[in-house]
């Protein structure tokens, strides 16, 4: 299944997103952020079923190190592909779609955080041209969206990877 359609999610997509990917409170929150102009939720669809997503955080980073060292640089967050659809380039397609979207908005760079022990994701981003920044890993907070609507803040530490979007070739 290499042929997926990637598009910006709409409020009407919420039921399909929750059926396929779960995480109702997460997707509801990101759609609210998107409506407010703070981000973009891109979804990979196979036929009428969501199989993956990525969120583009367009607002100021929450971490002071990122605000200071990467001011105005958007963040690529929450890249996920359903387990049964992995290793079919869907994650790559989502990242590339996000990069094109950001480039069209006039952004020259994009950044993301990878958990220190998530070597698989680090390898994917490395293949896609992301490079670790010259600073130490960053203490951050991962949000865990509970089914009852609660949001739990979990301390985390991430390596920060950055990509120059000017290197992305024109289509």
Q: What is the DSSP letter of 71?
A: T
* pTM reported for the whole predicted model: 0.91
Confidence of residue 2 (pLDDT cuts 50, 70, 90): low
- pLDDT, mean over the chain: 92
d(CA 108, CA 171): 17
Q: Which residue has the tokens 């690529």?
A: 76
Instruction: Give me the mean pLDDT over the 11-37 stretch.
Output: 95
Instruction: Give me the mean pLDDT over the 29-55 stretch.
Output: 96
Q: What is the DSSP letter of 164?
A: E
> Is the model's pLDDT at 171 over the cut of 60?
no
> Is the model's pLDDT at 1 over the cut of 50?
no
Domains of the chain (ranges; CATH) run: 5-167 (3.40.630.30)
């Amino acid at each position: 299944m290499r042929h997926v359609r990637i598009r910006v999610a709409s409020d009407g997509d919420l039921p399909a997103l929750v059926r396929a990917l779960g995480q109702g409170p997460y997707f509801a929150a990101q759609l609210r952020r998107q409506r407010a102009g703070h981000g973009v939720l891109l979804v990979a669809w196979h036929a009428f079923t969501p199989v993956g997503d990525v969120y583009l955080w367009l607002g100021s980073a929450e971490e002071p190190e990122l605000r200071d060292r990467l001011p105005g640089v958007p963040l690529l967050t929450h890249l996920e592909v359903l387990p049964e659809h992995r290793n079919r380039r869907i994650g790559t397609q989502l990242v590339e779609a996000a990069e094109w979207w950001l480039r069209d908005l006039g952004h020259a760079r994009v950044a993301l955080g990878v958990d220190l022990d998530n070597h698989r994701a680090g390898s994917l981003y490395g293949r896609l041209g992301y490079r670790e920044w010259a600073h130490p890993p960053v203490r951050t907070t991962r949000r865990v969206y509970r089914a009852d609507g609660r949001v739990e803040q979990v301390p985390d530490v991430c390596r920060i990877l950055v990509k120059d979007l000017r290197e992305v070739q024109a289509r």
